[in-house]
Amino acid sequence: MMSKNTTKQPENIYVHQSDLPEWVKIEDYPSVAIDTESMGLFHERDRLCLIQLTFDGKNCHLVQFQANNLQESPKLIRLLENKKIQKIFHFARFDCGLLFHTFGVMTNNIYCTKIASKLARTYTEKHGLKTLCNELLGMEISKKEQSSDWGKSVLTQEQKNYAAGDVLYLHEIRDKLNEMLEREGRKNLAIECFEALKCIIKLDGSGWSENLFAHL
């Protein structure tokens, strides 16, 4: 049984407004872990409040979006559309759907650790981020700040730490899941599922939330 460690701390947490700054060279990295925070779970009602990113699993960037003060985010949009940089999410259907609703662009080169987990870890029905950190990395993470006010202009240190923690482990989790997918011969199936997310996100945004492939 893998021994459990406390949550690791990022080397730096940078807070930006509306976009990544110029000094963040996005093209220098092959992948980036991304998560989002919003005012709720309905894209049409609940606005995007925060995007958290890490390119190296050490330094985290938190990009805030203020109500009634929306600005263009050209660098973030360029990152999302870049086909060469892999974007790692835990529940890509929600996050990419929110980003699509907010910016009107579809995220390219998606990797979803929840989908990968469901394909690789068929011995369990538990595929949450906390479970994956615990089982695959031997790390304990807290979800205490999950339901909090992400729309306020100044985030607490606890919120910053929580937001950073949601992306800090995704590169490592992806690598562990890829090993399992390769072992079980499901890597190509996972890739096809990631590509299919684009269509599903468009269906979600058009009101087709039910499963079109179901018999009923």
Per-residue pLDDT of 3-21, as tens digits, reads: 456 677 899 999 999 999 9
DSSP state letters, 77-96: HHHHH-SSSEEEESSHHHHH
Per-residue pLDDT of 16-49, as tens digits, reads: 999 999 999 999 999 999 999 999 999 889 999 9
Instruction: Give me the pLDDT at residue 213, please.
Output: 82
Extract the runs of DSSP E, i.e. beta strands, from the chain. Answer: 12-17, 31-38, 48-54, 59-64, 86-89, 110-112
Average pLDDT, integer, range 51-65: 97
Instruction: Give me the pLDDT at residue 5, please.
Output: 63
Residue 58 CA neighbour count, 13 Å, CB half = 2
Per-residue pLDDT of 131-187, as tens digits, reads: 999 999 999 887 666 678 999 999 999 999 999 999 999 999 999 999 999 999 999
- Give the range among 31-35, 67-71, 104-108, 173-177 with minimum mean pLDDT: 67-71
Of the chain, the percentage scoring pLDDT greater than 90 comes to 82
CA distances from 61 to 33, 58, 87, 200 (A): 10, 10, 14, 28
Is 205 exposed, middle or buried, given 0-12, 13-18 or 19+ CB atoms closer than 10 A?
middle
CA distance 16 to 185: 41
CA distance 127 to 116: 9
Contact (Cβ atoms closer than 8 angstroms) between residue 109 and residue 84 = yes
Does the structure show a pLDDT above 50 at 1?
Answer: no
Provide the mean pLDDT of the chain: 93
Which CB contacts under 8 angstroms, 24+ apart, belong to 142-150? 142/7, 150/37, 150/38, 150/39, 150/49, 150/50
Assign residue 68 a region (left: φ > 0; alpha: ψ between -120 and 50; beta: otherwise).
left
Instruction: Give me the pLDDT at residue 209, please.
Output: 77
- Reduced to 3 states (helix: H, G, I; strand: E, B; else coil), residue 40 is coil
